[in-house]
Amino acid sequence: MSRSPGRRDHAKPPGPAEIVIREIGSDGDGIGEHPDGSRLYVPFTVPDELVRVRPMARRGDGWAAEADTVLEPGPERRRPVCLHFGTCGGCVSQHWDEAAYLAWKTGRLSAALLRAGYDNPAVAPIVRGAPFTRRRMDLAVRRVSGGVIAGLHRARGEEIVDITECSVLHPALFALIAPLRAVLTSLAALRHEASVVVNLLDSGPDLLLRADGGLITHDRRKLTDFAQAFGLPRVSWALDDSAPEAVCVLNPPVTSLSGITIAPPPGAFLQATREGEAAIIAAVIDGLPPKRTAKARAVELFAGCGTISFALAPLVRVTAIEGDEALVASCHNAINQAGLMGKIEIKRRDLARQPLLANEFSGVSAVILDPPHAGAAAQMPFIAQSRVPTVIYVSCDPVSLGRDAAVLRGAGYRLEKVTPIDQFPWSARLEAVAVFRVGR
C-alpha cells in the first residue's frame, strides 16, 4: 500500500510536540501539524499560538490532541467567561476574540456554499446570540457516592461535569439545578443514570425526567412538591426511552408561537432562544415570494410543533409536515383552538422514509424546511425535481446545508441570500436561513 508523502502510519499516537495552530476546524478545535507531518486537532486553542501538545487518539486524517501548555498565546486569545470552560462540553470558543469567532462561523457557512457550487454567496451579517438566553436545559445525571451530579458531559467524554455556573442558560433554568440535585438524590427511580430536559415555557419550566428505574409513590410526591415550590406547570417522567407520562400538571404547560398558544409535549423541540426564533422567522418571511396571491400555498417540512407555521399563516396557506406524533397532535390542537383551520393543515409523515414526491409540490409557491442536524438527503431530490419557485432552508449545520444546497444547484436554483444566526453562543453550531429561487 502506498503512503502519502510526509505521512506515517501509527499503531500508537506520535509523541508530544510543540506546534503552531494554523486554523480552527469545523468542531472548534485548533489545527496544527506534528513534526512527523500528521495533522493534530487541539481544542481550546486559537490561531497563531505556540502550544505544547500530547496526541491522544486517532481522529479522521490525524490525531486528537490535548494542549499541555500554551507557550505563546495567539493575539486573539481572551479570558473565558465561565469557570467550567475547558472541562464542560457545552462551549468551545469562550477563549476566542468575538469578532474572530463570528467571522469563523460566517466563513464556515460561506465555504460550505462555495463547495456546493454557489460562487460569492450573499451572506447577510450574522445575528449574534446573547448570553443567558437559552430556554432549553439538557442535563446528564449520575448517582455517585454521597449524592447526585448533574451537568453536561465533558467534551468527547463520558464524565459529567457538575456545573455550578453557566453563561448560556436563562437564569430561571439555571436556578433549578441546585434544588433539582437534592430532589433527584432522594428518588428511587434514579438508580444509576438519568437525563433531565427542561423547556422554559411562558407558563414556567416544563420538566421531563428520563430515569433508569420506575417511579414509586414517594418519588411522585417529591417531584410534585418540587413543582409547587419552583413554579413548574408540569413534571413528566419516562423509563429510559419510553413515552413520557405526566407526574403532575399544576397549570397548563403552554407557550406562545407568533401569538398562538400551544401546549407542547414534554421535552419538545423548541428553538433554543426567543431571539433566535424571531430571527429565523424574520428571515423566512423575508424570503417568501414577493409576488404572491391571497391563495398562495406553502409546504413546510419538518414543521415541529408549528414555530414557523403559525408565523406563515397570515401570509400564505400552509401545509405542514412533521413525523413526530406528539408534536403533530400539539400543533393540531393549537390550530383548532386558534380557528386556523383552512390556513394551516398539519400532517404526520416520516420524511426520511417517505419523502414528498415531486408531483406533491404541484401548485406550491414556496417550500420551507427545517430539517434535523443531518439534513434532508432523502427529500432534496424531489424538491429539486419539482422546481418549486422558492425554497427556504432553515439549517443548523453548514455541512448538511451545503450538501443539500448542491442538489438544488444541480437543478438550476440560485442562492439569493443566506442569513447566519448564532443561536448557540460559543459553540460550533450555527443556524442559517438560506433562500433559493429557481432560474435566473
Helix axes 217-230, 177-185, angle to 10 degrees: 160
- DSSP letters spanning 359-388: GGGTT-SEEEE---TT--TTTHHHHHHHT-
What does each C-alpha distance from 33 to 9, 16, 21, 104, 151 come to in angstroms? 15, 12, 8, 20, 34
Are 186 and 140 within 8 A, CB to CB?
A: no
- Sequence-ordered alpha helix ranges (H) in 195-255: 217-230
CA separation, residue 319 to residues 24, 50, 322, 408 (Å): 41, 54, 10, 21
Q: Which amino acid is at 279?
A: A
Instruction: Kindly give, in sequence order, each residue whose CB lies less than 8 Å from that of residue 58, ignoring residues fewer than 6 positions away.
Output: 13, 64
List the catalytic residue out of 82, 91, 305, 396. Answer: 396
Identity of the residue numbered 98: E
Sign of CA dihedral 305, 427, 403, 116: positive
**Closest CA relative to residue 174, chosen from 163, 159, 187, 182:** 163
Helix axes 398-410, 98-115, angle to 10 degrees: 30
Query: Distances in Å between the alpha carbon of 13 and those of 10, 54, 65?
Result: 6, 9, 9
Q: Do residues 92 and 155 lie in contact, with contact meaning Cβ atoms separated by under 8 Å?
A: yes
Partnered with residue 414 across adjacent β-strands are 437
The span from the CA of 147 to the CA of 218, in Å, is 18
* Adjacent-strand bridge partners of 366: 298, 390
Q: What is the spatial distance between Cα 287 and Cα 418, in angstroms, rounded to a whole number?
A: 10
- Asked about 331 being catalytic, the answer comes back as no
Q: Where are the alpha helices (DSSP H) in 206-266?
A: 217-230
Q: How many CB atoms lie within 10 A of CB 338?
A: 17
User: Residue 346 to residues 233, 315, 322, 336, 369: CA-CA distances in angstroms?
Assistant: 26, 17, 7, 11, 14
Cα–Cα distance, 230 to 438 (Å, whole number)? 52
Q: Which of the residues are catalytic?
A: 396
